[in-house]
Structure 1
């Protein structure tokens, strides 16, 4: 059974990075208001979260149950993909009107 605090930590780091990259939710609205979504700062925040998640994966390798390992792997993969997008692609993927 997944450890609730571990799941919370992974989800928190992932959500922080996604919010910095512009995902629209309550955290993003607050971050924008506080000036945290300026592009270079946002990218730095997302990269820092990715580094922490990667370190966590390295340090816990072999000690996680399947659910925890899958959650962590998904969070890392998702952030790596988002960070590899060009700024224009990233804006399109978070802009709800881009598909219209």
Structure 2
């Protein structure tokens, strides 16, 4: 059974990144879409969150139960996907 504090930590770090990228709720989503969030800062916060989760995965390797490992793996994959999508979104605008 997953440790609730561990799950809360992973969820909290993920939510921080999602909010920075405008994915967490309607307000941040529309602010990001309308260009009201500082793009560089948003990506920096999301990358820092991803790095924290990667470090957590490295330091806990072999010490997590299946559910905890799956939660952490899913969070890392989700943030990588969000960051990649953001980078692809920014690239076409940079060439204009």
Query: Aligned equivalents of 1:24 and 1:61: distance in 2?
Result: 28
Query: Aligned equivalents of 1:25 and 1:19: distance in 2?
Result: 7
The alignment's TM-score, normalised by the length of structure 2, stands at 0.78
CA RMSD of aligned residues (A): 2.4
The alignment's TM-score, normalised by the length of structure 1, stands at 0.75
Aligned length: 85
Query: Aligned equivalents of 2:26 and 2:11: distance in 1?
Result: 15
Question: Which residues of structure 1 form unaligned runs of 5+?
Answer: 89-100
Is the 1:19–1:27 contact (alpha carbons within 8 Å) kept by the matching residues of 2?
Answer: no
Going by fraction, where is helix more abundant, 1 or 2? 2
Question: Which residues of structure 2 form unaligned runs of 5+?
Answer: 91-96
Query: Aligned equivalents of 1:6 and 1:27: distance in 2?
Result: 28
